[in-house]
Structure 1
Amino acid sequence: MANLNPELRRQVIAIYKELLHVGREYPLGFDYFRPRLHKAFMSRADERNEAKIISYIGQAEYVKKGMDYIFWASISIANVLPSSTEIEAL
Structure 2
Amino acid sequence: MMANPLRAEVVRLYKNVPLLLRPPQLLYLGREYPKGGDYFRDRLKAAFTKNKSVQDPEQIKAMIARGEYVARELEALYYLRKYRALKERYYAE
TM-score normalised by length of structure 1? 0.85
What percent identity do the matched residue pairs reach?
Answer: 35
- The letter for the 2-side match of 1:48 is Q
Q: Please identify runs of 4+ aligned residues in structure 1 that moved more than 4 A.
A: none
Instruction: Tell me which structure has the larger Cα radius of gyration.
Output: 1
Structure 1 distance, partners of 2:66, 2:2, is 22
Q: CA RMSD in A?
A: 1.8
Relative to the length of structure 2, the TM-score reads 0.82
Q: Is the contact between residue 24 and residue 30 of structure 1 (CA under 8 Å) also seen in structure 2?
A: yes
Offset of 1:25 from its aligned partner?
Answer: 1.1
Find the residue that maps to 2:55 and give its secondary structure: coil
Query: Which has the larger helix fraction?
Result: 1
Q: Which of 1 and 2 has higher RCO (CA within 8 Å, sep 6+)?
A: 1
In the alignment, what sits opposite 1:10? 8
Q: Where do 5+ consecutive residues of structure 1 fail to align?
A: none
Deviation string for 1:16-54 (max 9, x for gaps)?
111000001111110110000000011100000000000
